[in-house]
Amino acid sequence: MGISRPTVAQLRAFLALAEYLHFRDAAAALRMSQPALSGAVAALEEGLGTRLVERTTRRVLLTPAGERVARRAETVLAELDRLVEEVQAVRGMLVGPLRVGVIPTVAPYLLPIVLPRLAKEFPDLELSVHEEQTGHIVAELIAGRLDVVLLALPAPATGVTELPLYDEDFVLVAPAGFDLGATGVAREALNDLDVILLNEGHCLRDQALDVCREVGARAAAATYATSLATLVQLVSGGLGVTLVPETALPVETRRAPNLGCHRFAAPAPFRRIGLGFRSTSPRADEFEALAASVRAALSESGIAESGVIPGVRTA
């Protein structure tokens, strides 16, 4: 029986399955239905004339042939992605598709400011945005399923080039009536407060924990939240205090009553937000232009440098 050439769609489906070893998770990563993914893998097996996966009741295992095909598919798809990137780089600055990953503690606050400027400055840009936690978007970037990511630096992976965009201070948000003094709050005050955090997987959780550890404070172990919005509502309900980045402060505190916002004494704890892209990408010049456009949008909006929000500075 002859062997037919695999299609790109079949290779992408199989490589996702080889990565996740689960049909549902692989289909979700590719944003396709599970039957479509199963069909693509089955067609690949039929075309190659061999079984690539062993299907058990709980998970998927790769056969020896599947292991070899997965390694080769990764190389083939990486070269195809590089070919497309090189063509796009020749066509012009930020023309055509651009797949952007953004972390949840940045997307709702930065994108409304940045997207209108990008649409005006780069009218031929076909932007798609994927909001996920840091670990997921970085994995998608490395795998070639995203072109660039917006996240808190440093990126938790090697092979990622970083372009800093802005620094923003953390603000201590507490229930109204907390007596934390009229001037800047010392970090040591966290020792006497119940600090509540986001769930595991959010980089903002890790950053807040780092601030607590610096002064020997411990976060409250019983209460966590899946979003900044919920976190601030929990504070409003008197369950503790939390750290909120400056850009999120106007949006989230507007939705919750009975809050007090207290800035830290200098030097205030802060995080740096930036762009990340694969260091092997030929589109570095485009991503530099993208970063410059984001910084310009921040400055023009009055968020950074103008003093409207004093805790945000373009990097």
Q: Is the pLDDT assigned to residue 309 strictly greater than 60?
A: no
Residues 6+ apart with CB under 8 A from 207: 152, 170, 243, 269, 271
User: Does residue 200 lie within any of the structural domains?
Assistant: no
User: Does residue 249 lie within any of the structural domains?
Assistant: no
Q: Are residues 140 and 277 in the same domain?
A: yes
Residues 6+ apart with CB under 8 A from 191: 215, 216, 217
What tens digit of pLDDT does each residue of 26-55 get? 998 888 999 999 999 999 999 999 999 998
pLDDT of residue 307: 41
pLDDT of residue 83: 83
Confidence of residue 222 (pLDDT cuts 50, 70, 90): low
Confidence of residue 226 (pLDDT cuts 50, 70, 90): confident
Residue 104 or residue 257, greater confidence: 104
Q: Is the pLDDT assigned to residue 306 strictly greater than 60?
A: no
- Is 196:224 a contact under the CB 8 Å cutoff? yes
What tens digit of pLDDT does each residue of 68-115 get? 999 999 889 888 888 877 776 666 678 888 999 999 999 999 999 999
User: Does residue 140 lie within any of the structural domains?
Assistant: yes
Q: Are residues 132 and 156 in the same domain?
A: yes
Number of domains in the chain: 2
Among 87, 111, 141, where does a domain finish?
Answer: 87
Q: Are residues 17 and 160 in the same domain?
A: no
- State the burial class of residue 3 (Cβ atoms within 10 Å of its Cβ: 0-12, 13-18, 19+): exposed
User: Does residue 71 lie within any of the structural domains?
Assistant: yes
Q: Are residues 50 and 80 in the same domain?
A: yes
Q: Are residues 127 and 67 in the same domain?
A: no
What mean pLDDT is reported for the chain? Answer: 87
What tens digit of pLDDT does each residue of 1-24 get? 567 889 999 999 999 999 889 998
Q: Are residues 83 and 12 in the same domain?
A: yes
- Structural domain span for residue 132: 95-166+271-314
Percent of the chain with pLDDT over 70: 91
CATH number of the domain that 124 lies in? Answer: 3.40.190.10
Tokens found for residue 173: 């948000």
C-alpha pair distances (Å), 180 with each of 172, 241, 256, 263, 285? 10, 12, 20, 10, 47
Q: Are residues 134 and 64 in the same domain?
A: no
Q: Are residues 36 and 107 in the same domain?
A: no
CA distance 175 to 232: 10
Q: Are residues 126 and 105 in the same domain?
A: yes
User: Does residue 195 lie within any of the structural domains?
Assistant: no
Residue closest to 157 by CA, chosen among 134, 138, 144 = 138
Q: Are residues 101 and 65 in the same domain?
A: no
